[in-house]
Amino acid sequence: MVEQIPYINLAFFIPTFPLLGFLITGLFYKRLKHNQAGIIASIMITLSFLFTVILYFILKSSDKQAATVTLFDWISIGNMKIPFAFLIDHLSLTMMMIITGVGTLIHIYSIGYMRGDERVNSFFSQMNLFTFSMLLLVMGANYLILFIGWEGVGLCSYLLIGFWFKNPVYNYAARKAFVMNRIGDLGFILGIILIFFTFKSLSFSEVFSQAAALQIGMPVITLITILLLVGAVGKSAQIPLFTWLPDAMAGPTPVSALIHAATMVTAGIYMIARSGILYNLAPITLQIIIILGLSTAILAAIIGLKQNDIKKVLAYSTVSQLGYMFLALGLGAYSTAVFHVTTHAFFKALLFLGAGSIIHAMGGEQDIRKMGGLRKKMPLTYITFLAATLAISGLPPFSGFFSKDMILNKAFEHNILLYIIALFGALLTCFYMFRLLYLVFYGKQRIATVRPHESPKVMTYPLIILAILSVFGGFLNIPALFNGNSNFLNYLQTAVSVKITEEISHTTEIILIFISLIFLSLVILFAYRIYVKKSTLPEEDGASMSVITRIIYRKFYIDEIYCTIIEKPYALLSGFFYNTIESAILNPIIDGIGNTTYWLGNMTRKLQKGNISFYLFAMVAGILLFIFFILII
Amino acid sequence: MKEITSAIQLIPLEHYILLSVALFSIGLLGVLFRRNTIIILMCIELMFNSVNLLLTAFSAYHSDPAAQVFVFFIMIVAAAEVAVGLSILVMMKRNVDSVDINLLNRLKW
Amino acid sequence: MILLIILLIPLITAVFLLFLKDKAWVRSIALAATLLNLLLTLYLIFYSPQTEITFSAVNNMGINFSFGYDGISLIMLLLCNLLFPFIILTGFKQEQKQVPLLNFLILFAQSALIGVFLAKNAFLFYIFWELALIPVYFILLLWGGEGRARITLKFFIYTLSGSLFLLFGIIFLYQLTPGMHSTDFSVFNQLQLPAHTQIYLFWILFIAFAIKMPVFPFHTWQPETYTMASTQGVMILAGVMTKMGIYGALRFLFPVVPLGVQYWQNFVVILCLIGVIYASIIAFRQTNFKKLIAFSSMAHISLMTAAMFVLNYYALQGMLFQVISHGVVIVALFYMVYLTEKKTATLELNGMGGLKLVAPNMAILMLIIMLASIALPLTSGFIGEFLMISGLFQQSIWFAVFGGLAMIFSAVYMLYAYQKVMLGDKNKLMENIKDLQFIDYMILIPLIMIILILGIYPNTILNLPDLDVRSMLNHISQINEIVKGF
C-alpha cells in the first residue's frame, strides 16, 4: 500500500461542491428567488477553487508528484476493476485551476449577465453540473472516469446550447453538438476498450508504466491513439467534426466562454496530453494530428475573416486556436499545448465575456456591422477587450505571445514549412481580431436606436481580473531566452511525457520573434487602414461578392456539404428502410403467410354450404371412395 | 326356431344379398335425391331394414344368433331415432311451414 | 419453498381479485402482492442460499415439476418482480374498464413469467412460456388501441408458431435422452449431439426465441403491437416478455447446442447488428412517439442479442446487466409516452412542442430517462452497453464499431424526439396542461433512482450471475471439445 499524502483526500470535495450546487439549485429551482441560485453556484465553485489551491500546496509540500484518491469500486467484474478514483498530479491540478478559477469568474459574471432571465436557476444548476463533469474529466484516475466527465460535459453543453429552447434553430444546434460529440465518443470508447484489452487495465499509472516498455510503432498502439484521437477531434472541434462549435454559440455568452472556449473544448487536448506516452509510441498518429491541427487552424482562421457575428468570429478563432494546440500536440510538445490551453483560457474567456458585455450593452445585437464607436461608451470593456486581442494576436509581452511563440518554435524545429503555415495562420488571427476590435469599438455608432452603457460591476470585475491574467499569464513560463526558467513546463514535466527534440539556438529564436513581430505589426496597420481610416464595412448579406469572398463567407459550404452527404442520405435511408424494406418487403412476407392461410380457409369454407343433401352426398361419396380404395389396394 | 332358419335357408343367400343391396340403394338414392324430409327419414329406415335383413340372412346361414340380437338392437335404436327425427320434423313444420330439407341449410354456422 | 411462494402469490391474488368490485381495492391489493413479491425476491437475492424444489408430477414420463434458480434466473426474476409493481401502479389513476379482470390478467402474466424464469424442466418451461402469452393476448386485445383485433392476432399467431418449433425441439431432445426419458434441463445439457444435428436443431430452437426478442427479420409484429398496446400491456411486453427470449436462449440454446451456436454465431451476430442499425435508423423518421420508442427498444434488444451471441464473459455480463437496465428504462420511457399522450392527446411528434414550458419537471425526468436509454455514463444504460461493446470488441473490432453506432444513432433519434415533444415554443395543444401529479412521481422517481443507483454503483447486481456465466462458458467449451473429439 502506497503511503498517502496527508489531507490529500480533500480532493474529494473539489467536484463535490459543484455537484452540491447543482443538486441544490436543480432540486429547488422553483423555490429560489432570482440571484440566489447564481450566488449559491458561485460560492460552490469558489469553494472548489479554494480547495484546489489548498490541494496545490498540499501536493507541493509533500515529496510526491502525484496521488490517487479512491472513493469506491465502480465497476468490478472479472478482470475488470475500475475504481472511482481521482488522480491528483501536476497536469490535473493545472486543469483544475483553470476550470475552477476561470469558472468562478464566469459564474460571477453570469450573475449579472443572466439577471432577469426567467430560467436563471436552471442556468446555474447546469453550469454547476458542467463544472462537476469537467472536474471529473480532468481528475479521473482512469480512462473510464475521464469518459464519465467527457460525456457529462457533452450533455451540459447540449443543455446549455439549447438553453433558450423556444428557438428551434438553437435546439438544432444543441442536437448537432451532441451528436457530433457522440461520433467522437464512439471512437474514444472503442479506444478505451482497446486499451483495456491491451494493457488489462484502464488506470493511467498502470497503462503508462506498461507503455513505457513498449516499442515505437506497434500497430495496436497506433490504433489506440487513432481511436482516442477521434474522440479528441469531436470534443475539440477539429476537422472534420468542427462545425458544431460555431453553431454552439446559440447558447448564452457565459456558456460560450466557459464551455466552448476555456474548458470543455480543451478536453481533447488534455486527454492527448495525458496519454502522451502512448502518442509518443505512434509517430503516424502524431503526423495525422499535425496535419489536422494545422489545417483546422488555417481553415477556421480564413472563415473567421469574413464573419459578421461577434460570437461567430470568436468561435472560429477558438477552433483555430484549438488547431494550434493540436499542432503542438502533434509535435510532441504536450506541455506547450497545455500552456496554450491555459493562456487561451484566459484571453478567450475574456474575449467572450467582453463580447457578452457588448451584446448586453447593445440590447442583444450581435452583428458587428451594427456596432461601432463603443470605445467611449464602454471604456472598461474596451480596455480589457484590447488586452485580450493583443494577447490572442501574440504580441509580446502578452500571454498569447509566450504560448504561441513556443508552438511556432516547435514547428520551426520540425519543419520550416510548418512554421510558415503556422505563422500565416497567426497573421490571419491577428487580422480578424483587429478587424473585430476596430469595427466594434472605433468609428461611429452605426445604429442609433440603442444606447450602449458600461456593464454593472459584477460583470466588469471578472473582466478586469481576466485581463490581468491575459496580460501577465505568460509570465508563468518565461523561456530561457528571456532568462526565465520555464516554470510552467517544468511543473508539468512530472505528469506529461516529453518528446525530446532538437532545441533551436537562441539566435534563431530571436530572429523568428522579430519576423513574426514585423508581420504582425504590418497586419495590424493594414487592418487599421481598412477599417478605421477608410472605415470600410463588411458587405451586407445580400450584396454581390466575389467568388472567393462568397465561399469564405459561406464557410466553404461545409455545413451544406455535410447536410447533403450525411443528413439527407440518413433521412432518405431511414425513409427507405421504413417505407420499402419494413412496409413493402418484410411486413408483406409475414402478412402474406397469414393471408395465404386465410385465403385457403376461404376456399375450403365454400365447401361447407350448409346444405344437408350435399353433406350426405359428400359422405356417401367419401364412403364409396374409401371402399373403393380398400378393395382395390 | 329351427323352422324359421330352415325356411330362410330355402332361398339362396345371393337373393338376400341382392335384395338388400337393392333396398339399400333405393334408400341411399332416396336420401340423396329427395327433398322431402319425411321421405328421407323413411329412406333411412329402408336402409336400416335392408341391413337388418342381411344380418338375419347371414345369421341363419351361419347359425349364429348374435347377429339377430344385433338386429333387435338396431330396431330399438332406430325407433328412438325416428322419434327424435320426427319431432325435429314436427318442429320444422311448425317453424318454417315446410318439410323441405334444403331449408335446413344453416349447418355451416 | 420461497420459490413456490413467489410463484404462487400473484396467481392466488389474481384469482382473488376476480371476486372484488371496488377499483381502488383491486389495484391496491394487486400492488401489495407485487411489492411483497419484490421483497421476497430481494430477500432471495441477498440472503438466501441456492435452493431447488422438485415435485414428481408426471414422473414416469420424466416431466418433473421442478423449480430452481441460478444467477441468471435471479436477474430475470429480479427484473420481472421489479417491474410489475410499476406496471400495476401505472393503472392507478387511469380510466379503465374491467379493472379486476385487467389486474387479474397482469398478475397471471407475472406468475407465468416467474414460472418461465424458474423452471428447471424444459416441458415446464414450455408450459409457462405459452401460459404467459395468454393473459398478454387478452390485455392487448381488450385494452388495446386502434386495429387491435388484427394486430393482436398477428402477434399471437406469430409468436405461437415460433413456439411450435420449440415444442418440436423439446420432443426431439426428449426422445434422445438416455434411459428413462426426461425433459430436465440438466439432462438436456449433458446430451452431446453430433455437430450436424446441432446445426439444424439450432434454428428449430432459436426461432421461438428470435421471434420473441425479436431479432431482425422476425421483428415485424413488434412495432405495430407496441404502438397499439395499452401502456401496461406494452410495459409487460417490452419490459419483461422480450427478455423471455434472451433467457430462453441462455437456458436452452447455449448449453444444449453449443456447436450449433458456434456455427451460426457470426451469422446471428451480424443479423442482430443489422437489426441494431436498421431499427435505429428507422426510429429517426417515425412521426409517432410510441413507435419511435418501439423501434428504439428493438435496437437495444438487438444489441443485447448480438452481445449474447459473441459468447464471452464481458458481453454476457453486460447483457445481463442490460436486461435489468433496459427493462427499467423502457418501462419509464413508455410511461413518459403515456403521460405525453395524456397531456397533449396526441402522439404525433410533428404537432407537438413546447411541453417543457408548461411541464418543466416532466421535461427533466424525461431527459434523464432518455439519457439512460442512450447510455450516458452514471446511468445504468452505460454500464451494460460498455461491457457489451467490450465483449463485441473481443470478437471483432467491426462488431464493436457497428454495435457502437447504436450510441450515435440513439442520440440522434432520442434527442430528436425530446426536441419535438418538449422543446420549441408554445403550441395550441399545450394549453391547460399541468405538470406531473403525485402518482407520476411515485412511478418515475423510484425508476430513476434505480437507473442512477445501478449506474453509480453497478456492483449491487453486476456480480450476481458471475459464477453461472463462467460455468456456462466453461460448459460450452467443454462440450464443444468433446463433440469435436469424435
Say whether residue C402 is in contact with chain A using an 8 A CB cutoff: no
Q: Would B108 be classed as within a structural domain?
A: no
- CA A517 to chain C, closest CA, distance in angstroms equals 46
Contact A609 B105 (CB under 8 A): yes
Going by C-alpha positions, the residue among C247, C374, C377 that lies closest to residue C316 is C247
Contact A620 B32 (CB under 8 A): yes
What is the average per-residue pLDDT within A269-291? Answer: 92
> Which residue of C220, C389, C425 is in closest CB contact with A189?
C389
d(C-alpha C295, C-alpha B46), whole Å? 70
Could you write out the DSSP letters of every residue in C176-187? Answer: HSSSS---BHHH
Per the structure block, which three cell numbers stand in for C417? 424526439
Contact at 8 Å (CB) between B45 and B78? yes
> Which residue of A165, A178, A578 is in closest CB contact with C356?
A165
Residues 244-273, chain C, touching A (beta carbon < 8 A): none
Query: What pLDDT tens digit does each residue of chain C (486 aa) get?
Result: 788 888 899 999 999 999 988 888 999 999 999 999 999 999 888 886 656 666 655 556 667 788 888 888 889 999 999 999 999 999 888 888 888 999 999 999 999 999 999 988 888 899 999 999 999 999 999 998 888 888 998 899 889 988 999 999 999 998 888 877 788 888 888 888 888 888 899 999 999 899 988 888 888 899 989 999 999 999 999 999 999 999 999 988 888 888 888 889 999 999 999 999 999 999 988 899 999 999 999 999 999 999 999 988 999 999 999 999 999 999 999 999 999 988 888 888 888 888 888 888 999 999 999 999 999 999 999 999 999 999 999 989 999 999 999 889 999 999 999 998 888 887 776 777 888 889 999 999 999 999 999 999 998 888 888 888 888 888 888 877 777 665
Going by C-alpha positions, the residue among B25, B81, B45 that lies closest to residue A620 is B25
- A586 and A491 in a common domain: no
Contact A75 C356 (CB under 8 A): no
d(C-alpha A236, C-alpha A232), whole Å? 6
Count Cβ atoms within 10 A of the Cβ of residue C304 and give its class: 0-12 exposed, 13-18 middle, 19 or more buried.
buried
> Which residue of A148, A179, A573 is in closest CB contact with C412?
A179
Say whether residue C376 is in contact with chain A using an 8 A CB cutoff: yes
- A472 and A613 in a common domain: no
- C-alpha torsion A543→A547→A553→A557, nearest 10: 130
- A378 and A356 in a common domain: yes
Boundaries of domain holding A604: 558-632
> Which residue of B28, B32, B108 is in closest CB contact with A609?
B108
| pLDDT cut 70: percent of chain A above it | 98
Q: What is the pLDDT of residues B24-48, one digit of tens each?
A: 999 999 988 888 888 988 998 999 9
- Average pLDDT of every residue of chain B: 86
- CA A587 to chain B, closest CA, distance in angstroms equals 33
Contact A165 C422 (CB under 8 A): yes
- A542 and A436 in a common domain: yes
ipTM for the predicted complex: 0.92
Question: Which domain CATH number covers B15?
Answer: 1.10.287.3510
d(C-alpha A134, C-alpha A67), whole Å? 19
Contact B108 A608 (CB under 8 A): yes
Q: How many CA atoms lie within 13 A of A422 on its CB side?
A: 33
d(C-alpha C229, C-alpha C136), whole Å? 10
Question: Taking 90 as the threshold, does the pLDDT of residue A361 lie above it?
Answer: no
In chain B, residues with a C-beta closer than 8 Å to the C-beta of A613 are 32-33, 35, 101-102
- A606 and A493 in a common domain: no
- CA A627 to chain B, closest CA, distance in angstroms equals 15
Q: Would A387 be classed as within a structural domain?
A: yes
Contact A148 C378 (CB under 8 A): yes
Nearest CA in chain B to A609: B108
- A519 and A464 in a common domain: yes
Q: What is the pLDDT of residues C150-171, one digit of tens each?
A: 899 889 988 998 899 999 999 9
Boundaries of domain holding B59: 2-103
Burial C63-96 (b: 16+ CB within 10 A, else e): bbbbbbbbbbbbbbbbbbbbbbbbbbbbbbebeb
What is the average per-residue pLDDT within A104-110? Answer: 93
* Chain A contacts to B (CB-CB under 8 A): 608-613, 615-617, 620
Q: Would A336 be classed as within a structural domain?
A: yes
Q: Are there at least 3 beta-carbon pairs closer than 8 Å between C and A?
A: yes
Burial C266-282 (b: 16+ CB within 10 A, else e): eebbbbbbbbbbbbbbb
- A531 and A590 in a common domain: no
Per the structure block, which three cell numbers stand in for A591? 402478412
Give A123's contacts (C-beta < 8 A, 6+ positions apart).
Answer: A37, A110, A114, A117, A160, A163, A252
CB-defined contacts A:C, below 8 A? 134
Q: Would A62 be classed as within a structural domain?
A: no
Going by C-alpha positions, the residue among A69, A90, A79 that lies closest to residue A16 is A69
d(C-alpha C281, C-alpha A575), whole Å? 9
In chain A, residues with a C-beta closer than 8 Å to the C-beta of C377 are 144, 147-148, 151-152
Question: Taking 60 as the threshold, does the pLDDT of residue A370 lie above it?
Answer: yes
Give φ, ψ of C462 to 5 degrees: -60, -40
Contact B102 A611 (CB under 8 A): yes
> Which residue of A77, A193, A578 is in closest CB contact with C400?
A193
Nearest CA in chain C to A174: C415
Contact at 8 Å (CB) between A14 and A139? yes
Q: Which chains touch B (3 or more CB pairs under 8 A)?
A: A
In chain B, residues with a C-beta closer than 8 Å to the C-beta of A620 are 28, 32
The total number of structural domains that make up chain B: 1
Q: What is the pLDDT of residues C178-234, one digit of tens each?
A: 877 788 888 888 888 888 888 899 999 999 899 988 888 888 899 989 999 999 999
- C-alpha torsion A96→A102→A107→A108, nearest 10: 130
Write down which residue in A505, A521, A553 finishes a domain.
Answer: A553
Contact C466 A77 (CB under 8 A): yes
* Residue tagged 390485455 (cell numbers): C139
Q: Are there at least 3 beta-carbon pairs closer than 8 Å between B and C?
A: no
Contact at 8 Å (CB) between A165 and C356? yes
Q: What angle do CA A257, A259, A263 make, to 5 degrees?
A: 95
In chain C, residues with a C-beta closer than 8 Å to the C-beta of A573 are 281
Contact C458 A185 (CB under 8 A): no
Contact at 8 Å (CB) between C265 and C311? yes
> Which residue of C154, C376, C424 is in closest CB contact with A166?
C424
Q: Which residue has the higher pLDDT, C230 or A497?
A: C230
- Collapsing DSSP states into helix, strand and coil, what is residue C427? coil
- A341 and A433 in a common domain: yes
- A529 and A468 in a common domain: yes
Going by C-alpha positions, the residue among A128, A116, A160, A117 that lies closest to residue A42 is A128
The total number of structural domains that make up chain A: 2
- A532 and A571 in a common domain: no
- A601 and A508 in a common domain: no
In chain B, residues with a C-beta closer than 8 Å to the C-beta of A616 are 31-32
Write down which residue in A535, A553, A571 finishes a domain.
Answer: A553
> Which residue of A608, A610, A613 is in closest CB contact with B32?
A613
d(C-alpha A393, C-alpha A403), whole Å? 11
- C-alpha torsion A369→A375→A378→A384, nearest 10: 100
| Strand ranges inside C161-281, DSSP E | none
Q: Would A623 be classed as within a structural domain?
A: yes
* Residue tagged 462458458 (cell numbers): C473
- A438 and A576 in a common domain: no
Nearest CA in chain A to C415: A175
Q: Which residue has the higher pLDDT, C140 or B107?
A: C140
Residue A10 confidence class, pLDDT cut points 50, 70, 90: confident
Say whether residue C200 is in contact with chain A using an 8 A CB cutoff: no
Q: Which residues are bridge partners to B100 per DSSP?
A: B36
Residue A191 confidence class, pLDDT cut points 50, 70, 90: very high
Count Cβ atoms within 10 A of the Cβ of residue B78 and give its class: 0-12 exposed, 13-18 middle, 19 or more buried.
middle
> Which residue of A615, A617, A620 is in closest CB contact with B107?
A615
- CA C60 to chain A, closest CA, distance in angstroms equals 39
Strand A80-89, strand C52-58: pairing: unpaired
Residue to substitute from A189, A195, A591, A596, interface C, most C β-carbons within 10 A: A189
Q: What is the CA radius of gyration of chain A?
A: 31
d(C-alpha C101, C-alpha C354), whole Å? 38
Contact A78 C412 (CB under 8 A): no
Say whether residue C368 is in contact with chain A using an 8 A CB cutoff: no
Contact A171 C419 (CB under 8 A): yes
pLDDT for residue A109: 93
- Collapsing DSSP states into helix, strand and coil, what is residue A309? strand
Q: What is the CA radius of gyration of chain C?
A: 22
Give φ, ψ of C339 to 5 degrees: -60, -40
pLDDT for residue A501: 67
Nearest CA in chain A to C221: A587
Say whether residue C350 is in contact with chain A using an 8 A CB cutoff: no
Residue A1 confidence class, pLDDT cut points 50, 70, 90: very low
Per the structure block, which three cell numbers stand in for C388? 457489451
Residue to substitute from A607, A614, A615, A616, interface B, most B β-carbons within 10 A: A616
d(C-alpha C203, C-alpha C165), whole Å? 9
Q: Would B109 be classed as within a structural domain?
A: no
Three-class HEC string of A40-82: HHHHHHHHHHHHHHHHHHHHHHCCCCEEEEEEEEEEEECCEEE
Nearest CA in chain A to C411: A179
> Which residue of A610, A617, A620 is in closest CB contact with B108?
A610
Q: Would A349 be classed as within a structural domain?
A: yes
> Which residue of A151, A166, A582 is in closest CB contact with C376?
A151
- CA A154 to chain C, closest CA, distance in angstroms equals 10
Give φ, ψ of A349 to 5 degrees: -60, -45
- Cα of C203 vs its chain's centroid, Å: 21
In chain C, residues with a C-beta closer than 8 Å to the C-beta of A140 are none
Kind plus residue range of the DSSP H or E element containing C63: strand C63-68
Residue A540 confidence class, pLDDT cut points 50, 70, 90: confident
pLDDT for residue C51: 62
Write down which residue in A500, A519, A553 finishes a domain.
Answer: A553
d(C-alpha A219, C-alpha B5), whole Å? 109
In chain B, residues with a C-beta closer than 8 Å to the C-beta of A615 are 107
Q: What is the largest CA-CA distance in chain C?
A: 74
Q: Which chains touch C (3 or more CB pairs under 8 A)?
A: A
Contact C317 A77 (CB under 8 A): yes
- Average pLDDT of every residue of chain A: 88
Give φ, ψ of A80 to 5 degrees: -90, 110
Question: Taking 80 as the threshold, does the pLDDT of residue A485 lie above it?
Answer: no
Could you count the other beta carbons within 10 Å of the beta carbon of residue A621? 11
CA distances from A590 to A586, C158, C165, C220, C302 (A): 7, 9, 17, 8, 20
Q: What is the pLDDT of residues C240-268, one digit of tens each?
A: 999 999 999 998 888 888 888 888 999 99
Contact at 8 Å (CB) between C216 and C274? yes
